[in-house]
A and B are shown apart, each in its own frame.
Chain A
Amino acid sequence: MSDAKYYPRWRRDVILLAAVVVLAAALQFSVFKAGTQASEAVVTAHGETVVRLALGTDTIYTYEFEEETNEIVVENGGVFIRRANCKGQDCVRQGRIDRAGQSIVCLPHKLIIELAMTDANEPEIDIIVR
């Protein structure tokens, strides 16, 4: 190597690896406080909220913008994208989400589905039955 005189640097590399992994793992666990049931799915496209879907009722919402469509399915308290005409199909592959804070993103369509947390002050049942 052109800068061979600096070798070996194994100790530094391993410390770097450990530090970054530990930091990322700590972040991961602080971000995803496990398992709060979500109550609604907020659909955002091009930076604006399109619709809020209550997770209590099973529905199919088809997002349409110009030629872009995503078929969003709400089923048994979870959400997934069943069909989309985007190129990558990443949004379909991301599968079903049902916990607050989770999200499905369709980059080509600039579409985001975000699960919002149940508001602790409001009884859950009221929101669903309404």
Chain B
Amino acid sequence: MKNNRTLAKRLTTQAMLVAAAVVLGGIERLIPPFFPAMPGVKIGLANLATLAALYWLGEIPAIAIAVARILLGTFLFASVSALPYALAGGVLAWAVMCVGRRVFGVPGVSLLGAVAHNLAQICVSVWLLDSTVLFMYIPFLTIIACATGFVLGFVMLNLDNHIRKTSLLTNI
């Protein structure tokens, strides 16, 4: 049953996830690159919001939150030229996670999202740069994404455990 109270709570939860994601993205920008020779290596903290939205609210709210946080984050912290990369990464990660969660658990889904995010960004850069050199980065980035994605999956499981002890997710 979706009464006004439920709708208001859902909307608030979505807004909170967008805000949390933008903050996580901002924090991540402060972390110096792990591999200076390999730009694009990052933890992907903001993907935690998409992941949480996917499990807590459903697939449509998840993509809405992903797109909202990408637009906000890009205009706040980055330049417009970074937008195609961020959008492609976010959308493909979401799509792959939607399919993946029918088969895998949270860490697996998170891993798939991270790998998909990288692949999409590489594909966009290959398209924009009109050169296939960047395909060379895929294997290395994928290995890193496996590690960060899997660990972030555990973070999500823990987060979920704690949030479910509160009333935040009841009746949504």
Contact = CB atoms under 8 A, between A and B. Distances in A.
Majority-rule SS of A interface residues: mixed
A20 B105 contact: no
B37 A24 contact: no
A107 B104 contact: no
Interface string A71-97: 000000000000000011010011100
Nearest to A13: B108
Contact of A13 (B36, B79, B104, B143): B104
Nearest to A28: B139
A17 B111 contact: yes
Contacts of A9: 104-105, 108
A93 B32 CA distance: 11
Interface in B133-172: 133-134, 136, 138-140, 142-143, 146, 150, 153, 160
Q: Bin the interface of chain B by size.
A: 35 or more
Contacts of A105: 39, 125, 129, 133-134
B3 interface: no
A101 B81 contact: no
Contacts of B85: 107
A2 B107 CA distance: 16
A87 B55 CA distance: 36
A90 B105 contact: no
Interface residues of A, number: 38
Interface string B108-122: 100110010000000
A5 interface: no
Interface in A86-123: 87-88, 90, 93-95, 101, 103, 105, 107-108, 110, 112, 114
Interface of A: 1-3, 6-10, 12-13, 16-17, 20-21, 23-25, 27-28, 31-32, 44, 46-47, 87-88, 90, 93-95, 101, 103, 105, 107-108, 110, 112, 114
13 contacts: A1-B106, A9-B104, A12-B105, A13-B107, A21-B143, A28-B139, A93-B33, A94-B37, A94-B38, A103-B134, A105-B125, A108-B79, A112-B133
Interface of B: 33, 36-39, 55-56, 79, 81, 85, 101, 103-108, 111-112, 115, 125, 128-131, 133-134, 136, 138-140, 142-143, 146, 150, 153, 160
